[in-house]
Amino acid sequence: MALARKGDLDAALAEYDIAIKEEPENLLARKNRGEALEAKGRKADAVTAFEQVVALPVRPGMDDDATARQSALAHLQRLRGDTGKPPASAAADRGTCERGRGEDRMAACSRVIADTSLSSAERITALTSRAAILRERR
């Protein structure tokens, strides 16, 4: 983060890549990477980075994760011009959650549940689907 503040975005990106490789679930490093990509003018790459933050679950007790996720959502809304529509990946996740199989289905349901840009009804439906998956595993 200090490297990014100093304007050394390439070095900052390298540091974020190392942090993400060592800890793939690190939402703060992923969010910071998105901000550095955006600052370099790499909008499409920044959107992808922010979407990754939103797709990953917030780790329990990790306030930085929740903050990074909210910030990533704000970046996405701004970069996309906030059409009010959820991203295509959210629609795909909802479909996989409802009709998918195995671990892909469980992961998709988890992403839908965590996606605060979706309606409560959509998230509750995903929660119900996830509960059914867990019951089927018993």
Domain stops at, among 43, 64, 80: 80
Asked if residue 31 and residue 15 are part of one domain, the reply reads yes
Asked if residue 74 and residue 30 are part of one domain, the reply reads yes
Asked if residue 118 and residue 73 are part of one domain, the reply reads no
DSSP 8-state assignment for residue 61: T
Residue 9 to residues 52, 72, 99, Cα–Cα distance (Å): 20, 18, 42
pTM: 0.57
Helix (H, G, I), strand (E, B) or coil at 55: helix
- Each residue's pLDDT expressed in tens, for the chain with a length of 138 residues: 555 556 678 999 999 999 999 999 999 999 999 999 999 898 889 989 988 988 888 878 778 878 888 888 888 888 877 545 556 677 778 888 888 877 788 888 888 888 777 777 788 888 888 888 888 877
Q: Which domain holds residue 14?
A: 2-80
Domain stops at, among 58, 80, 102: 80
* Structural domain total, the chain: 2
Asked if residue 61 and residue 20 are part of one domain, the reply reads yes
Please tell me the distance from the alpha carbon of residue 70 to that of residue 11, in angstroms, as a whole number.
25
Asked if residue 9 and residue 70 are part of one domain, the reply reads yes
Asked if residue 60 and residue 7 are part of one domain, the reply reads yes
